[in-house]
Amino acid sequence: DGGITQSPKYLFRKEGQNVTLSCEQNLNHDAMYWYRQDPGQGLRLIYYSQIVNDFQKGDIAEGYSVSREKKESFPLTVTSAQKNPTAFYLCASSLKGQRWAGELFFGEGSRLTVL
């Protein structure tokens, strides 16, 4: 079945540690995105990538890093520089730029808790 797989689903991290969230898609989509969701707020864009080996910052990229070495994969690293990393992270993909794709396909999310 085609879809987006995020792992891990739940992750605990100590302060000062970097952590990497995995996102893999087998939909053959060109574009991939990382969003963050906090209680009472809409989704906020962290990073997005329209093509392999290229990515752009979203609204809240500080303290995060990404790579896009393969079309299928778009891992997100939450670094120790991120001041408030506890959140629900969602990865998504689309056929083209999200504006024209009509829809984003989302993974099930990864909940990161910093202890």
Question: Considering only residues 56, 62, 69, 70, which one is a binding residue for other proteins as defined by CB under 8 A?
Answer: 56
Residue 108 within binding range of other proteins, rule CB under 8 A: yes
Question: Considering only residues 19, 78, 92, 114, which one is a binding residue for other proteins as defined by CB under 8 A?
Answer: 92
Q: Strands 19-25 and 31-37, how do they pair?
A: unpaired
Q: Do you know the residue count of the chain?
A: 115
Question: Considering only residues 66, 87, 90, 114, which one is a binding residue for other proteins as defined by CB under 8 A?
Answer: 90
Question: Considering only residues 7, 17, 53, 59, which one is a binding residue for other proteins as defined by CB under 8 A?
Answer: 59
- From the list 13-21, 62-70, 76-84, 92-100, the region that binds other proteins by CB under 8 A is 92-100
- From the list 14-22, 43-51, 66-74, 79-87, the region that binds other proteins by CB under 8 A is 43-51
Buried b (16+ CB within 10 A) or exposed e, 28-52: ebbbbbbbbeeeeeeeebbbbbbee
Binding residues vs other proteins (CB under 8 A): 4, 31, 40-45, 48, 50, 56, 58-59, 90, 92, 97-99, 102-109
